[in-house]
Amino acid sequence: MSGNGNAAATAEENSPKMRVIRVGTRKSQLARIQTDSVVTTLKASYPGLQFEIIAMSTTGDKILDTALSKIGEKSLFTKELEHALEKNEVDLVVHSLKDLPTVLPPGFTIGAICKRENPHDAVVFHPKFVGKTLETLPEKSVVGTSSLRRAAQLQRKFPHLEFRSIRGNLNTRLRKLDEQQEFSAIILATAGLQRMGWHNRVGQILHPEECMYAVGQGALGVEVRAKDQDILDLVGVLHDPETLLRCIAERAFLRHLEGGCSVPVAVHTAMKDGQLYLTGGVWSLDGSDSIQETMQATIHVPAQHEDGPEDDPQLVGITARNIPRGPQLAAQNLGISLANLLLSKGAKNILDVARQLNDAH
């Protein structure tokens, strides 16, 4: 190959033929913003292709009067979108990665994990409490969150507060906070607030010592048909190697613990000097009982390589053929090892009791 022009021409020839790529998404404003960002990146990589966005409502969008942990459905925000993928009505679907179960239905895979935004949780305060922190809120103030993970950790850290479920998309929750007098503050993902352009509503960002985040929080996952090699190749350009490795470790930890949204499980990951650090924890529903540990593994963040596909199965639902396999396996093994360490210290009992209590209420 003699020059960049030839390389570009070859890349264009190798990409799927000129056609419309249909992208599925939830209907919420945040989901549309996230999907638009993915489509913008794909358009820049494939200027010859057209992209059509198809929005639909999911079960989780429709059931708004029940806490997520009570609904007992692992694919609350994904099932209808996967149905459209299966029927070939869309070619790929953009999700918040934390909504995707660690075991996907047969025939699907996560073909790309995009660069992660801030994964931490944020506190948004009622206008009359702007300038406060959770620590300085008055006794018995009510804080809204739909997450058992957040409630368990924060009850332990801030016993003077009460935590109550709040449902709905970001717009709905903010409206409930501002217009009703029930909540003094609500907890939301920082990434969602930033993507919506609502930086000014972030009153406090919670550090890992206060509240570790959900597996995959802040990252977007692109789900595709597992055997659709054209689309797998197309979305592969979206993979961010560091985010991918951190999320493989997190998802492997959660899967091995058999956690889900009906039990409080949280993580924190960091890459530094060739080391991947993974902290994971489990809590009882009221936060009174918990186990947390940290492990690390030597993993160098790889550049994407073009050595051709490696015909290996998925790791925790993820296919990343353009990223070397070794670091991916090391990340997965780190997650499994940390889960085993917690299980050896009694995590299963804490999670079983949490699950039973949650089901009983």
**Per-residue pLDDT reduced to its tens digit, 168-192:** 889 999 999 999 999 999 999 999 9
Q: How many domains does the chain have?
A: 2
Q: In the structure, what pLDDT confidence band is assigned to residue 360 with cuts at 50, 70 and 90?
A: confident
Say if 15 falls within a structural domain. Answer: no
Say if 42 falls within a structural domain. Answer: yes
Say if 9 falls within a structural domain. Answer: no
Domain range spanning residue 175? 121-205
The pLDDT of residue 9:
46
Please, where are the H alpha helices in 23-147?
Answer: 29-45, 59-62, 68-71, 79-86
Rounded-to-integer distance, Cα 157 and Cα 167, Å: 23
**Per-residue pLDDT reduced to its tens digit, 66-93:** 444 443 444 545 778 898 999 999 999 9
Please, where are the H alpha helices in 137-197?
Answer: 148-157, 170-179, 190-195
Residues assigned a catalytic role: 99
Rounded-to-integer distance, Cα 115 and Cα 90, Å: 23
Rounded-to-integer distance, Cα 335 and Cα 355, Å: 22
Q: Which residue has the tokens 């638009």?
A: 36
CA angle 361–79–219, rounded 5-degree value: 90
Regarding whether 230 and 98 lie in a shared domain, the answer is yes
Say if 10 falls within a structural domain. Answer: no
On whether the CB atoms of residues 283 and 273 are closer than 8 A, the answer is: no
Regarding whether 307 and 324 lie in a shared domain, the answer is yes
Q: Residue 130 belongs to a domain with what CATH number?
A: 3.40.190.10
Regarding whether 264 and 187 lie in a shared domain, the answer is no
Say if 14 falls within a structural domain. Answer: no
Regarding whether 220 and 294 lie in a shared domain, the answer is yes
- Both tokens assigned to 291: 């186990």
92-96 vs 20-26, strand pairing mode:
parallel
Regarding whether 235 and 166 lie in a shared domain, the answer is no
In 3-state terms, what secondary structure has residue 331? helix
- Both tokens assigned to 54: 């198809």
- Both tokens assigned to 189: 């993902």
**pLDDT surpassing 90 at residue 199:** yes
* pTM score over 0.75: yes
The pLDDT of residue 2:
42
Regarding whether 232 and 97 lie in a shared domain, the answer is yes
In 3-state terms, what secondary structure has residue 116? coil
Regarding whether 31 and 86 lie in a shared domain, the answer is yes
Report the percentage of the chain scoring pLDDT > 70.
86
Please say which residue of 143, 172, 205 terminates a domain: 205
Regarding whether 346 and 255 lie in a shared domain, the answer is yes
Say if 161 falls within a structural domain. Answer: yes
The pLDDT of residue 1:
40
- For the chain, the distance separating the N- and C-terminal CA atoms, rounded to the nearest angstrom, is 66
**Per-residue pLDDT reduced to its tens digit, 299-348:** 988 776 554 455 557 899 999 988 999 999 999 999 999 999 999 999 99
Say if 3 falls within a structural domain. Answer: no
- Average pLDDT (235-263) is 91
**Per-residue pLDDT reduced to its tens digit, 95-127:** 999 989 999 999 999 999 999 999 999 999 999
